[in-house]
Amino acid sequence: MQKSSFPYSYWTKILGVVIIVAGVISFFLRYHKRGIFDLNELAIGLSWGFVFIFFSKEKTDDEMIHGLKFRALTWAIIVAFSITHLFNYLFLNWRFERERGMILSVSAYQFLALTLIIATVSFHYLKHQATSNEEQ
């Protein structure tokens, strides 16, 4: 019996897509009704949705897939951390004065959403590369 590293079944990806769609609809409804442009609310829906999508089993759940997911996630963390750090430094705090200022930062939901989006896209790119190399 092979034990998978990923806790969710393949069909949980559908739940992830439903959560993302609900989050996007909620984001636009709030903007339309109240004029509130809340990126954190959008990031919450994206984070939960991509958690279910990325950490679900694949149809072919073997060691190669586990390795590709791990590789994609490790690179995604480094890239997302670099992007959020530069965004915090260059755009949110570029005129920060220690005596009078307040440090602003990207929220944890936004960081997680960015990380999981990058990881999911990277995984599918790596999987495509691996399968196209096997065909040749």
Structure-model confidence comparison of residues 125 and 3, the more confident one = 125
Instruction: Tell me the mean pLDDT in the region 54-71.
Output: 90
Find all residues with CB under 8 Å of 113, minimum gap 6, and list them. 42, 43, 46, 47, 50
Residues found in the chain: 136
Q: What is the pLDDT of residue 101?
A: 64
Structure-model confidence comparison of residues 89 and 113, the more confident one = 113
Structure-model confidence comparison of residues 101 and 57, the more confident one = 57
- Considering Cα of 120, then 14, then 109, then 24, what sign does the dihedral take? positive
Instruction: Tell me the mean pLDDT in the region 95-123.
Output: 82
Find all residues with CB under 8 Å of 77, minimum gap 6, and list them. 115, 119
Residue 4 banded pLDDT, cuts 50, 70, 90 = low
Q: What is the pLDDT of residue 1?
A: 44
Residue 96 banded pLDDT, cuts 50, 70, 90 = low
pTM of the model: 0.84
Instruction: Tell me the mean pLDDT in the region 78-91.
Output: 89
Instruction: Tell me the mean pLDDT in the region 49-71.
Output: 91
Q: What is the spatial distance between Cα 68 and Cα 122, in angstroms, rounded to a whole number?
A: 9
Q: What is the pLDDT of residue 5?
A: 65
- Structure tokens that stand for 117 in this block: 């989006």
Instruction: Tell me the mean pLDDT in the region 85-113.
Output: 76
Find all residues with CB under 8 Å of 21, minimum gap 6, and list them. none
In 10 A of CB 38, how many CB atoms? 13
